[in-house]
Amino acid sequence: MLILQTDRDSLLKPLQAVTGIVERKHTLPILSNVLLESVGGKIQLLATDLEIQIHTHGADNDAGDFRLTTNAKKLQDILRALPDSAIVQLDWADNRLTLKAGKSRFNLQTLPAEDFPTMSVGETTQAAFSLTQETLKNMISQVQYSMAVQDIRYYLNGLLMQVESGQLRLVSTDGHRLAYSATTIESDLAKTEVILPRKTVLELNKLLNQPNEMVEIELLGNQVRFKCNDTVIISKIIDGKFPDYNRVIPLDNEKIFVISRTDLLGALERSAILANEKFKGVKLFLSAGLLRVSCTNSEQEEATEELEIAYQGNDLEVNFNISYLTDVLRNSHSDDMQLAFGDSSKSTLFTIPNEANFKYVVMPMRI
């Protein structure tokens, strides 16, 4: 039975929007599948791992209604491998989905749609607001690299989203560095905060691809819902208490200067070539009018770069994990960065000159 005929991209693009959360191997085989259905002449796709659920709309369809599930990754790989201009035909009979395109033919197994688990959605909205996709994407890019990865402190393996009055704040930390980004929103909300799982943050960031369109956000108690384009993400939140980030941000660092972001990034990237592969350490030497960057390794090799800066304070030598410095410089898009140092044992504060909405704190390391 013919259930769909469309061009390749009209099926592939919505499929790519949902398959990022699908695990190839799962204890529940059906969770490796995508739910495909046609309702009222419109194709809809849904995927879930029971922690996150993504639902989107696809091509128009005049071949009638249907509901089925099939392996998400295999279907995506087949569509990717077809020519851009391919016309795709889907037939479904005897629990088999047949995909035809030109001389190509693929038979895929299906599982019953009624067995596909979906997340129940909370009905109590604690906060709802919207902002442009470009604004949210820029905020995420400024902080997502500081999320922890599989830390035993599970509340660090994600991103704090906090709304209060007319401000949205995103904060992440792995215990060694912290990134903070804020923006104003057109909502007067009581203070509400959730911790978004790392996977949710990464999938959401992929979908924010229409800069001038809005993304709607609803905080639903133990869930959060994002609506953008024709796609809805529903995600559980991490149950835990995020650290008080205000206590981490140093306010009294007096050794302050402004430097070209690209000049500093270039010096660090070149020096990193000779950094110790295990420790990835870099020494920064601060003196009047000069910042010196130095890396050494176990073969006694050394890289040194000098950068002129407008600084007339006391000398300072401080060590960092070089990746923690290049991360913030790569993910910021400002021309200049302001660095505020304390002493060799205190955290350093990175900010954008005349911009209060971004802060990055990095702890020194012992080399």
Q: What is the pLDDT, as a whole number, of residue 187?
A: 86
- Domain boundary residue, one of 45, 80, 115: 115
pLDDT digit string, tens, across residues 270-287: 999 999 988 899 999 999
The answer to whether residues 23 and 103 belong to one domain is yes
The answer to whether residues 155 and 108 belong to one domain is no
* Both tokens assigned to 19: 């398959």
**Dihedral angle, C-alpha 156, 215, 54, 200, nearest 10 °:** -10
Residues present in the chain in total: 367
Q: What is the pLDDT, as a whole number, of residue 196?
A: 98
Residue 216 lies in a domain: yes
Residue 60 lies in a domain: yes
Mean local confidence (pLDDT), 95-99: 95
Domain hosting residue 328, numbered range: 255-362
The answer to whether residues 107 and 219 belong to one domain is no
The answer to whether residues 165 and 109 belong to one domain is no
The answer to whether residues 81 and 154 belong to one domain is no
Report residue 43: phi and psi, to 5°: -75, 135
Asked if pLDDT for residue 367 goes beyond 70, the answer is no
The answer to whether residues 242 and 279 belong to one domain is no
SS3 (DSSP) at 341 = strand
| Contacts of the segment 335-338: beta carbons below 8 A, 24+ positions apart | 335/260, 335/261, 335/262, 336/258, 336/259, 336/260, 336/261, 337/258, 337/259, 337/261, 337/264, 338/256, 338/257, 338/258
Comparing CA positions, the residue from 32, 113, 115, 36 lying closest to residue 73 is 32
Q: What is the pLDDT, as a whole number, of residue 289?
A: 97
- Domain boundary residue, one of 115, 138, 168: 115
SS3 (DSSP) at 327 = helix
Task: Output 242 or 187, whichever has higher pLDDT.
Answer: 242
The answer to whether residues 236 and 262 belong to one domain is no
The answer to whether residues 297 and 216 belong to one domain is no
Residue 189 lies in a domain: yes
**pTM metric for this prediction:** 0.93
The answer to whether residues 78 and 151 belong to one domain is no
Residue 120 lies in a domain: no
**Separation CA 331–CA 347 (nearest Å):** 20
pLDDT digit string, tens, across residues 147-171: 999 999 999 999 999 999 899 999 9
- Domain boundary residue, one of 89, 115, 141: 115
CA 143-145-147 angle, 5° bins:
85
The answer to whether residues 59 and 107 belong to one domain is yes
The answer to whether residues 138 and 214 belong to one domain is yes
Proportion of the chain above pLDDT 90, given as a percent: 88
Report residue 93: phi and psi, to 5°: -160, 140
Residue 43 lies in a domain: yes
Mean local confidence (pLDDT), 341-365: 96
CA 252-255-259 angle, 5° bins:
120
Residue 367 lies in a domain: no
The answer to whether residues 19 and 111 belong to one domain is yes
pLDDT digit string, tens, across residues 108-153: 999 999 999 999 988 889 999 999 999 999 999 999 999 999 999 9
Residues 6+ apart with CB under 8 A from 262: 335
Q: Which residues on neighbouring strands pair with residue 55, listed in sequence order? A: 46, 232
CATH of the domain at 159: 3.10.150.10
Task: Output 65 or 159, whichever has higher pLDDT.
Answer: 159
- Residue 54 is given by DSSP the state E
Contact 165, 189 (CB under 8 A): yes
**Separation CA 361–CA 348 (nearest Å):** 6
Q: How many domains does the chain have?
A: 3
